[in-house]
Amino acid sequence: MTLAVKETIYKQDFQASLENASEPQWLKDLREKAFAYFTENGFPTVRDEEWKYTNAAEISKLEFQISNEQSESQTSELLKDFNFERNGFTALHLAFADVVLVTIPKETSVEKPLEFSFKADEGTANFPHVIVVAEAGSKATIIENYESAGKSLTNSAMQIFVEDNAHLTHYRVQSESAESYHIGTTEITLKRGSFYNSTNINLGARLSRHDVHLKFTVPGGEAFVDGLYLLNGSQHADTHSTIDHTVPNCTSHQNYKGVLNDRSRGVFNGKVFVRENASGTDAQQSNKNLLLSNDARVDTKPQLEIYNDDVKCAHGATVGQLEEEELFYLLSRGLSETLARNLLTYGFAEEIVNKIEIESIKKQLDEAVLNRLNANLGI
């Protein structure tokens, strides 16, 4: 009955935050609805198909102080589009969400990346919510950054709208503390001729879960949804994504890579839907994992559901160790075994890191990759 106790605690916080917030009635109603959903459903459990490999029970037993800045929260009717009914986390998120709204105006090209950085303090629960609207013909880059100190909970969401012919590059870097919990949701809606290019990096947190839901709603969009998870110790990282081709002539590319050391555990579940109507779809999906230890484990499930014949689709997943022939090649050039293994691992991750166009992030990641490997490659 831990769950019931927990819900009571969140209930008091919820009531308090609702009273303090000066928000329009529709939003209060929406929050009430979301909270009611949470109360009724609680946190997801491993009996839930979508949470089969990720046990969130730990989180439901912990008490966090709600870090709530709802008074400064912005409002947007677009919040109504957020699907809070996915699970208890998304519902709880909306109930407490601190909203930031950013609009990239029509036909505007923003040079400097827009940065959203969140840092969770020890013992707190955080519910940041960012809405990004890239208006028609605009061009911008956004950086989403998560850090934390000690044990904390981040339950975040981002809603992204890429309007006609807009071009959005998105970097999401999760490097929370080794004791923290991170639950994140990204919803992306793509319009005609739009282009969305994301790279999702998961380095931190004791337990992390990232859900990506991307939907083409008008023909002619293109999206990259790439990612890298770099895990060690007893870290657990789960990525669930859906890429939904509901209309014709859209292109999606998904490339996720994982490097797992020690007893870490990775989960990748990627669903690509090609609906009846979606002729001319080009959908590619790949998930490759490198296990550096015998105790590391990955559960990967790339899924294609195709209801149209006129499509070009491919998907695949691998879980393996370093290639022996590559290793021997490096050894035969005089690299020590440790150095050779580290270099190959670095090379495996670099495919994702290399596509990053912002030097500072690239450098940060290069360093993170190398730190994780305890490697000094002199690079």
Rg (CA), the chain: 21
Q: How far is CA 345 from CA 21, 29, 260, 340, 361, in A?
A: 49, 50, 10, 9, 19
Shortest distance, position 344 Cβ to another protein, whole Å = 7
Q: What is the DSSP letter of 52?
A: T
Shortest distance, position 345 Cβ to another protein, whole Å = 9
Rank residues 245 and 288 by Cβ distance to another protein and give the closer one: 288
Shortest distance, position 377 Cβ to another protein, whole Å = 7
Please tell me whether residue 236 adopts helix, strand or coil conformation: strand
Please tell me whether residue 303 adopts helix, strand or coil conformation: strand
Rank residues 63 and 367 by Cβ distance to another protein and give the closer one: 367
Buried b (16+ CB within 10 A) or exposed e, 203-238: bbbbbbbbbbbbbbebbbbbbbbbbbbbbbeebbbb
Pair of tokens at residue 99: 């909203």
Shortest distance, position 238 Cβ to another protein, whole Å = 25
Regarding beta strands 281-291 and 251-260, do their DSSP bridges make them parallel or antiparallel, or are they unpaired? Answer: parallel
Rank residues 183 and 340 by Cβ distance to another protein and give the closer one: 340
Rank residues 77 and 324 by Cβ distance to another protein and give the closer one: 324
Shortest distance, position 361 Cβ to another protein, whole Å = 17
- Are 122 and 150 within 8 A, CB to CB? yes
Shortest distance, position 294 Cβ to another protein, whole Å = 19
Instruction: Summarize as ranges the residues that interact with another protein (CB under 8 A).
Output: 324-326, 328-337, 339-340, 343-344, 346-351, 354, 377-379
Rank residues 71 and 371 by Cβ distance to another protein and give the closer one: 371
Shortest distance, position 365 Cβ to another protein, whole Å = 13
Rank residues 57 and 379 by Cβ distance to another protein and give the closer one: 379
Rank residues 210 and 341 by Cβ distance to another protein and give the closer one: 341
For every residue of 150-198, which 3-state class applies, written as one string? Answer: CCCEEEEEEEEEECCCCEEEEEEEECCCCCCEEEEEEEEEECCCCEEEE
